[in-house]
Structure 1
Amino acid sequence: MNYTYYIADVFTKTVFNGAQVAVFPEAEGLSAQQMSLIAKELNLTETVFLSNKEGQENYFRMQIFSPLGEIDFAGHPIIAAAYVLAACNKLSLQDTYTPVVFAQNTGDIQTSITSSNGQPSFIQFTRTVSPVVDYYTPPESELASFLGIDEAHIDSKKYCTRLVSCGMPYLIVPVYYYQTVRDAVFNLSAWSQSLAPQTAAQEILLVSPKTPYQDSDFAARLVGPNIGVHDDPPVGSAIPSLAAYLCSFDHMQKGTYTFSVQRGDEKMRRSVLNLEMDHKGEDSLTVRVGGEAVKVAEGTMVIPEA
């Protein structure tokens, strides 16, 4: 059978920037094994497969695969899927806001599409998480060693390193300077000799409150033992943990906060993720993540029947 798919660049409005996500908007009939093979064939960070759930309008089953296997939750696919559905007339846009629900393996994700002149202009999804914050982290000398950065550049005044999990643990390391985020080089040998592997986190989120771009408040980058030394992977799945991290500090007063996080740079597929969080000092935290997208490719894949 023939299946149409689209490739969208996510958290950007400029082609060849942001994160590449492939979307199959009508994936009914594909098995999980076929989806896995398709994801390996396309070899993108994430490939999304949608099917209309129980015939309900604007309600879709979403399955996400990387070349390595299925993913239970990811943020970039939500933005990509909503954009493709709207831009390719797979759902009817309302005047201003159009609600859509994606059923991922972790549960239903409430999403809204903002449209202008009949085209999607901004997509935002809402997620309520129950974060776990651990204050036990490796000493700064070890952090600096396996991150390949100057120990003096690690922020221990306004922020400090913490382990945060909203389902997947991230070791979040704050640094003073944007360039430190960009220049970090992960050292697997130093990592193996440190206390870090005992934290269960396999990904480190470097964060700086300084960025040279006017449209972002934080710069972020993921590194780790399973990430290529020179790679700069999407950070969407880590954003709820970043929100929980910020809320874990006493100087963050209760309220609703809005800010933007940038990943990459002008030479490496820059993304801008918009985040809202409702800090109420409770065990649960509601975050809203939004951004833009742009279609860059459309194709047809011929899939043999299972």
Structure 2
Amino acid sequence: MTTPTGPAAPEVLRYTAFSADPAGGNPAGIVLDARGLGDVEMLAVAAAVGYSESAFVTEQDPEQRRFRVRYFSPLAEVDFCGHATVATAVALAERLGEGPLLFETNVGEISLDTGKDASGAVRATLTSVPTHTRPATDAELDAALAALRWSRDELDAAFPPHVAFGGVEHLVLAAGTREHLAALDYDFDGLAEVMTRHGWTTVQLVWRESPELYHARDPFPIGGVVEDPATGAAAAAFGGYLRALGEIPASGSFTIRQGEDMGRPSTLTVSAMPDGERIRVSGTAVAI
């Protein structure tokens, strides 16, 4: 890979991931040539763009379809971001042609497959790093529930609170009803403090409509954003969580609907890899 000095004012693309409609999904800024940009410059670009994350291709080998990618929220670098990964993969596939890609990230190598779906939209499927999950402690749960203004009796007892990892960590909490999930109104600063203390990237709040369909909301105050409309990293972590609980459907895949309560509907397709460790997350992305 090469790392020559890039342009002083990089071109920033804007794509939305996990939707074929520019009005849906989760927007991401993309700098396809961030060679020569330092941390301060990338953070400044991400802050100016204002999306939950922007992706920066800092090294590239187009012939081998291999890229070094870093992610920044408006406030800080994020080790891994699923929706910006999908958006960047689609943007590259549109320029290089469809096929496999490999992203080197802070959490390891992320392999991707890109191609057109039945509707003609470009779809990217990422394969996560190995996932793992553990029960949340009482102290973690109590602090998070207080900031969310939720109580234990409002949770779905079938899904124990866990801290799940799919590249970064997310607290997973299942609401007992769809109405409770829709009524989310949390303490922004309080939840940011809890998440910062425990190293969580988002809180993955879910409700199960069926074994094949979940609804999710993901507060992201540590990134300066109230809520993510689609969170690929959390979807990977959640897939690992469901596999640990034995809740992956017989088909091996399920769908997450996210962003509906904030007017940016998103669809994430999640499947378990046969290796028992990795999760695949798939979605479309389009330019805004």
TM bucket normalised to smaller:
0.7 to 0.9
Q: Which runs of 5+ in 2 are unaligned?
A: 1-6
Unaligned runs of 5+ in 1: 297-306
Pair 1:236 & 2:232 matched: yes
TM-score (ref. length: structure 1) = 0.77
Amino acid at match of 2:14: I
Superposition pairs for residues 1-306 of structure 1, below 5 Å?
1=7, 2-51=9-58, 53-54=60-61, 56-87=63-94, 89=95, 91-93=96-98, 98-115=99-116, 121-134=122-135, 136-137=137-138, 145-149=146-150, 151-156=152-157, 158-187=158-187, 201=200, 203-210=202-209, 217-223=213-219, 226=222, 231-232=227-228, 234-249=230-245, 251-252=246-247, 257-265=252-260, 267-278=262-273, 285-296=277-288
**Aligned mates of 1:217, 1:126 — CA distance in 2:** 20
- Judged with a 3 Å threshold, the aligned counterparts in structure 2 of structure 1 residues 72 and 180 are, in CA distance, closer, same or farther, namely same
Cα gap change, 1:228/1:65 in structure 2, threshold over 3 Å: closer, same or farther?
Answer: closer
- How far apart, CA to CA, are the structure 2 residues paired with 1:41 and 1:196? 24
CA contact (8 A) 1:3 1:26 kept: yes
The residue matched to 1:179 in structure 2 has which SS? helix
Q: How many residues align?
A: 280
Correspondence for 1:300? none
CA, structure 1 residues 180+138, in 2 after alignment: closer, same or farther (shift >3 Å)?
Answer: farther
The CA RMSD measured in Å over matched residues stands at 3.5
Q: Which range is displaced more, 231-240 or 267-276?
A: 231-240
Scaled by the length of structure 2, the TM-score of the pair is: 0.81
Q: Specify the code of the residue in structure 2 equivalent to 1:236.
A: G
* Letter aligned with residue 79 of structure 1: V
In 2, the alpha carbon distance for the partners of 1:246 and 1:268 equals 27
Q: Compared with structure 1, are the counterparts of its residues 75 and 69 closer, same or farther at alpha carbon in structure 2 (3 Å cutoff)?
A: same
As a proportion of its length, which structure holds more helix?
2
Q: Name the larger-Rg structure.
A: 1
Shift of 1:150: 6.0
Q: 1:225 to 1:62 in 2, by over 3 A?
A: closer
Distance 1:46 1:198, change over 3 A: closer
**Conservation of the 8 A alpha-carbon contact between 1:170 and 1:202:** yes
Contact in 1 for aligned 2:204/2:217 (Cα 8 Å): yes
The one-letter code matched in structure 2 to 1:273 is L
Aligned counterparts of 2:252 and 2:144: Cα–Cα separation in 1: 29
**Distance of 2:195 and 2:37 partners within structure 1:** 40
1:304 counterpart residue number: none
| Letter of the structure 1 residue corresponding to residue 260 of structure 2 | D
Q: Distance in 1 between matches of 2:39 and 2:189?
A: 36
